[in-house]
Amino acid sequence: MSDQPHSAEWFGEQRDFWWNRDFLDLMAVRWRLHEAGSLADIGCGLGHWLRLLYPYLRPPARLVGVDREPRWVAEAPEKFRHAFPHVAPELISFHQGDATKLPLADDSFDVVTCQTVLMHLAQPLDALREMLRILRPSGLLVCVEPNNFWNYVGFTSLTEDESVEILVRRFEFWLRQHRGRLAAGRGNHSLGDLLPGYFARLGLRDIAVHQNDRPAPLFPPYAGPAQQALVEQERQWKNSATGPWNRDDLRELFLRGGGDAAVFENVFADIVEKSRREQGAVTDGNFHAAGGSINYLVSGRKP
């Protein structure tokens, strides 16, 4: 995996509201998860995705999580046991390992999956080959990856009246940052667009592409745990200069992507002011946005 850590700020409470349960019910039927008695989750983090998929598997299902970072490998088992205390301990294991060199045997799982992992890798095809290696013949590979550019294109109650020039300038800012990330070997945050082609290149059959149906809307009075978690997460990122608000990291990637230092200072100041206005509008009860996103679920079966 990349040398950049998958920091704790990305595992906030907002992650618990990524999925609608009835949508997962539908996907479980389409993927025939009830036939699967074993699953490996690659880049499992704290096990959010693994815990969501577990109830759909054929019991008693064997689960394995793999993550590069020791912290998540140490903390994920307790979170799983808290959610499913009845599961026999010998059926669940977590291992430290790299997505491009998995510490697991060939042809050993009915399902291999990952969620927002390939987007962080310099060589995602290497990780996909490793996932196929540990997957049994006719087993199911499921990868969930986004097109994160959409996050900078969607309109809100504040941007709908802004000039074309300002909106284009911001989009160029994030495009430069994206190109810089690619040049630095730190992954592709819009990898989801490429996944079906990667699956075809690797020879998978029965390739299918779906999109997560859950947006992240904000509208007054910002009631409910999902909206409250979203508002709080953005406030924490901004106030602590972490996550998408790490200025030094953004500047490095922007310049590597061919941007000009003076342009960075100008546009970054504009983006900071935009965030300040948004937070002020939330406080005043005036901000609203549908919060659409593009998150692909790409699946295929090993020949």
In this prediction, residue 215 carries a pLDDT of: 92
Domains delineated in the chain: 8-147+190-215+294-301 (3.40.50.150), 150-180+218-284 (no CATH)
Calculate mean pLDDT across residues 194-209: 98
Calculate mean pLDDT across residues 40-65: 96
Identify the residue with better confidence: 37 or 245. 37
Task: Indicate if the pLDDT at residue 13 is higher than 70.
Answer: no
Q: What is the overall mean pLDDT for the chain? A: 92
Give whichever of 3-7, 138-142, 214-218, 270-274 has the largest mean pLDDT.
138-142
Calculate mean pLDDT across residues 87-105: 97
Identify the residue with better confidence: 275 or 199. 199
Radius of gyration of the chain (CA): 20
Residue 9, Cβ density class (10 Å: 0-12 exposed, 13-18 middle, ≥19 buried): middle
Q: How far is CA 240 from the centre of its chain?
A: 21
- 210 close to 297: Cβ distance less than 8 angstroms: yes
Beta strands in 31-153 (DSSP E): 38-42, 62-67, 92-96, 109-115, 135-146
In this prediction, residue 145 carries a pLDDT of: 97
pTM of the model: 0.92
